[in-house]
Amino acid sequence: MKHELKLVSFIGQKGGVGKSSLARLLSVGAARKGHKVLLADFDLDQLTCLEWNATRLRRSVEPEIDVRAFKSLKKLRKTEGNFDLIVADTRGLADELTKDVAEESSVVFLPTGTSADDLRPTLALAQRLAKHGAEGKITIVLSKTGRSERQITGALEKIETQGFPVLAETWGLRDGLQSEFDSGGVGLESSNRYLREIAEQMERAMMARVFNSGRA
């Protein structure tokens, strides 16, 4: 079946919430399953994904991921034919370009912490994006979560009250994961079974959302 551009984006109002880490995890997960993946880095100030990929290449971490920097959707559209999944990592600030990327996406992930400080701007952004035609594509992801089940459950409830879909899996904050990222990994390559499981579960949850969504 021929399909349109399958663009999945990671967007946020706040910096440092896990957009780049989750974009990389989804890209590697999809590439491991044989998909032709492009990881599009729209964060030209930091180039987090591009830098990470340089480390990945230096260390020969498999599979190789095609990571490129983009400053507009126009350029991205020119290459779209070569890929069956394009994952867009955006800046830690929802500017016009970010809104355009969201509009073209079939799924928009909004990673957020569980605190009210994080949830408030995330839900406000979700509402703004929904007004701009992203309704039905938005999925919130609890990211860099601590070990308090109560805080996680509380955050899930707040999000559901506002009517936005949220992944049941959470992206737990772990020192070991940070070390994996620093050496070009995403968590899936970890020799630590526990870390690997955190990454595998999140990857599965994102893949299910991307490939089972009616719009994708």
> Measured between alpha carbons, how far is 47 from 175 in angstroms, rounded to an integer?
22
- Which listed option, Mg ion, ligand ATP, none, makes contact with residue 139 (CB within 5 to 8 Å by class)? none
**Residue 27 or residue 48: which is nearer to Mg ion going by CB?**
48
C-alpha distances out from residue 144 to 8, 51, 102, Å: 20, 21, 22
- Burial class for 182, CB neighbours closer than 10 Å (0-12, 13-18, 19+): exposed
Residues that bind ligand ATP (CB under 6 A): 12, 15-21, 43, 46, 48, 92, 144, 171-174, 177-178, 181
Per CB under 5 A, 13 contacts Mg ion: no
**Residue 43 or residue 104: which is nearer to ligand ATP going by CB?**
43
**Sole binder of Mg ion in the list 9, 13, 27, 48 (CB under 5 A):** 48
Per CB under 5 A, 19 contacts Mg ion: yes
Cβ pair 19, 64 in contact under 8 A: no
Q: How far is the CB of 208 from Mg ion (least distance, A)?
A: 23
In the block, tokens 């940070």 appear at 178
**Residue 84 or residue 169: which is nearer to ligand ATP going by CB?**
169
- Which listed option, ligand ATP, Mg ion, none, makes contact with residue 21 (CB within 5 to 8 Å by class)? ligand ATP
HEC string for 180-194: HHHCCCCCCCCCCHH
**Sole binder of Mg ion in the list 9, 13, 20, 98 (CB under 5 A):** 20
**Residue 106 or residue 112: which is nearer to ligand ATP going by CB?**
112
- Which listed option, ligand ATP, Mg ion, none, makes contact with residue 70 (CB within 5 to 8 Å by class)? none
Closest CA to 12 of 73, 65, 88: 88
Torsion of CA 89, 214, 100, 81, to 10 degrees: 70
> Measured between alpha carbons, how far is 74 from 64 in angstroms, rounded to an integer?
25
Q: Which two tokens stand for residue 54?
A: 């340089």
**Residue 137 or residue 174: which is nearer to ligand ATP going by CB?**
174
Q: How far is the CB of 187 from ligand ATP (least distance, A)?
A: 8
Residues in contact with Mg ion by the rule CB under 5 A? 19-20, 48
